Amino acid sequence: MIRNLDDVFAEDATPVPPEQLPAAVTAGALVYTDGTTQSFDPDGTTRYVEDGRQTEGTWSIDENGRFCSFWPPSFRASYDLRWMVDEGRIVGLRFSDLASGTPFEGRYQ
């Protein structure tokens, strides 16, 4: 179920503005193309489930308005987030790692 995006107008592949990042990531759990899932809580907790194994980290927005994640003990990454829109409806997010450029897509469950 998608939450918190009723008042958001977005076009496919456009950047998620920094002020909309919290609503975008907490709107619902994401399912990635490889079948893994991830959820983001408003308190900054994130859970990633791969092959039934769950790991927990944190997400935040840095001083430059970028989406960041931290996975203990030391993995940190920053991402560009873009909307995925299908027939005028927001259906997910596209992430691109700012360091490597690696892209991945998640659809709201």
CATH number at residue 89: 2.40.128.640
Residue 91's Cβ-count burial label (10 Å; 0-12, 13-18, 19+) is middle
In a domain, 4, yes or no: no
Label residue 3 by pLDDT band (50, 70, 90). confident
Label residue 7 by pLDDT band (50, 70, 90). confident
> What is the C-alpha to C-alpha distance for residues 21 and 5, in angstroms, rounded to an integer?
11
Query: pLDDT at residue 38 above 90?
Result: yes
In a domain, 6, yes or no: no
Is the full-model pTM beyond 0.85?
yes
Radius of gyration of the chain (CA): 13
- Per this entry, what is the length of the chain? 109
Query: pLDDT at residue 1 above 80?
Result: no
Any idea what the Cα angle at residue 64 is, between residues 39 and 86, rounded to 5°?
45
Query: pLDDT at residue 72 above 70?
Result: yes
In a domain, 42, yes or no: yes
In a domain, 3, yes or no: no
Which parts of the chain fold into alpha helices (H)? 21-26
Give residue 97's domain range.
18-108
Counted domains in the chain = 1
In a domain, 9, yes or no: no
In a domain, 11, yes or no: no
In a domain, 1, yes or no: no
Average pLDDT on 17-28 reads: 96
